[in-house]
Amino acid sequence: MATLKEKIGYGFGDMASSMFWKVFSAYLPIFYTNVFGLDLGLAAALFLVTKIWDAVSDPMMGIIADRTSTKWGKYRPYLLWISIPFAVSGILLFTTPQWGETGKNIWAFATYILMMTVYTAINVPYGSMLGVMTGNSDEKTVFSSYRMFFAYTGSFIVLALWEPLCNMFAGVEGKLTYSPQAWQSAMIVVGTICAALFVLTFTMTRERIGITTAAKKETSIMDDLKALLNNGPWWILLGGVLFFNFFGAVRYAVIPYYFTTLIGEGNMLSLFSIEFTFYAGIFFTIGEVANMAGVAIATPITFKLGKKSTFLYSLFAIIALCIAFYYVPTSGSTAYWTLLGLQIATGIFTGIISPLVWSMYADISDYAELKFKTASTGLIFSSSSMAQKFGGAFGTSAVLWLLAIFSFNTAEGALQTPEAIEGLRLLVSWIPAAIAALSALFIFIYPLTTKRMNEINEELKKIRK
């Protein structure tokens, strides 16, 4: 049995990853268009085109990690080796050079590719650790719950502090600053914290699970890839997770535009005689608290219903909540509280799903070990990183392209057309609902039920050394 220290230490790793990822999801699009100075079409292309490299780098990192052998294990040492490059690449990403248009465009593409490569180099081994920290399917869900609880804690912190940090470094109050220096300084703070968290994960965890004798035999890269491509449950879960991440990316990318355009400034919420401004950061952080609540109840619900059913029912709830979002007005205290209520409910169901994703990838790793006699945990978990990044890229690109189609004006204080306003409303409601429905279709046919995984775990216990 793993210790509480290990579970907390494992959680610190995704706390670091999520702090970066949520800043990217929520603020990188508006950084590129309103701070850095890219037009909507080029920014959309940047997010999508660079995924071509991710299609190579993610499985490549999984293969490299699977073949790593050190006194610290296969995957754990990367948390130590890559922690500093992780922070530095994030700072470079939010740096705006004083160059001409061509030079700035090259910088944007180069630093984004660098960041995603470094993110892969640390996140794929980190995720793969779940497959070697415990051999028990239920304990993997517990580990995943700790992971996601800390992930959402990190998300809550960074989303609550990002706008105040940027404004503090710019020396302004109120509306989010567009000062390039302020955004870079804010990322220096966040990057330093994230590097320290990865080092803590390295020191507080260990790899303990061996593999079957057959799987220990040296296999070629082509054998591992062949086994992966013939893994039916992997393909199905990959589709479900890709669309789930696509759904999340669309909502995160559009919210800052939604608030600056439709909610505006000076809108106050009152709670127990305390008034506070209703802005995107508040909306995000309330959602992260709800995500944490969802993670907290995910394990008992999953033990009762099973991973597949819990995932599917949560998606159904998310679809209904997104559709309801369309019909809520964008002004007035009652409307604001209704929007927050829908965000809380959506966050809870999203939080329930999040730990299941990683636990189900760990189950697929066990399935592959038994069926194909290959220890390709890193390669399998690299697909989760690829699904996260592809879903994020498709979602962000879709938002930017649709905003361009709806003739959205990125100039500060610009008057938007009715088509642009309607586009924003669709992007926070019906469009993400449709994407979540596609995710549900994949999860509906996912074959690794609780019963099947119990059978696989019993067979592996007999042959693992």
Token output for 401 = 């392209």
- The pLDDT of residue 107 is above 90: yes
| pLDDT > 70 in the chain, percent | 91
- The pLDDT of residue 271 is above 70: no
pLDDT digits (tens, 9 = 90+) for 299-319: 899 988 999 999 999 999 999
pLDDT digits (tens, 9 = 90+) for 425-434: 999 999 999 9
Residues with Cβ within 8 Å of 10's Cβ and at least 6 positions away in sequence, in order, are 129, 130, 133, 143, 146, 147, 201, 204, 205
Question: What is 4-463's CATH topology?
Answer: Growth Hormone; Chain: A; (1.20.1250)
- The pLDDT of residue 438 is above 70: yes
Token output for 157 = 């912190």
- The pLDDT of residue 210 is above 70: no
User: Count of CB atoms within 10 A of residue 331's CB?
Assistant: 11
Q: How far apart are CA 422 and CA 213, in angstroms?
A: 59
pLDDT digits (tens, 9 = 90+) for 289-300: 898 899 889 889
- The pLDDT of residue 211 is above 60: no
pLDDT at residue number 173: 82
Residues with Cβ within 8 Å of 384's Cβ and at least 6 positions away in sequence, in order, are 127, 241, 357, 358, 361
* pLDDT (mean) for 42-57: 81
Which carries the bigger pLDDT value, residue 204 or residue 221? 204
- The pLDDT of residue 459 is above 50: yes
Which carries the bigger pLDDT value, residue 46 or residue 93? 93
User: Count of CB atoms within 10 A of residue 19's CB?
Assistant: 26
Residues with Cβ within 8 Å of 300's Cβ and at least 6 positions away in sequence, in order, are none
pLDDT at residue number 319: 97
Token output for 358 = 């990683």
- The pLDDT of residue 274 is above 70: no
pLDDT at residue number 214: 43
- The pLDDT of residue 283 is above 90: no
- The pLDDT of residue 453 is above 90: no
Name residue 277's beta-bridge partners: 268
- Which candidate, 171, 173, 183, places its Cα nearest to that of 33? 183
Helix (H) or strand (E) holding 268: strand 268-271
Q: How far apart are CA 122 and CA 77, in angstroms?
A: 9
Domain boundaries along the sequence of the chain:
4-463
pLDDT digits (tens, 9 = 90+) for 56-72: 788 889 889 888 989 89
Alpha carbons within 13 A on the beta-carbon side of 434:
9
User: Count of CB atoms within 10 A of residue 175's CB?
Assistant: 16
Token output for 352 = 């329930």
> Is the CB of residue 179 less than 8 Å from the CB of residue 169?
yes
Q: How far apart are CA 144 and CA 353, in angstroms?
A: 10
- The pLDDT of residue 253 is above 80: yes
Q: How far apart are CA 174 and CA 127, in angstroms?
A: 38
- The pLDDT of residue 236 is above 90: yes
pLDDT digits (tens, 9 = 90+) for 133-173: 887 767 887 888 898 889 889 988 998 889 899 999 999 88
> Is the CB of residue 285 less than 8 Å from the CB of residue 156?
yes
pLDDT at residue number 223: 74
Q: How far apart are CA 204 and CA 7, in angstroms?
A: 9
- The pLDDT of residue 213 is above 50: no
- Which candidate, 378, 434, 381, 427, places its Cα nearest to that of 400? 427
- The pLDDT of residue 384 is above 50: yes
Token output for 436 = 């979540």
The bridge status of strand 268-271 relative to strand 274-277 is: antiparallel
User: Count of CB atoms within 10 A of residue 183's CB?
Assistant: 25
pLDDT at residue number 122: 95
Average pLDDT, the chain: 86
- The pLDDT of residue 212 is above 50: no
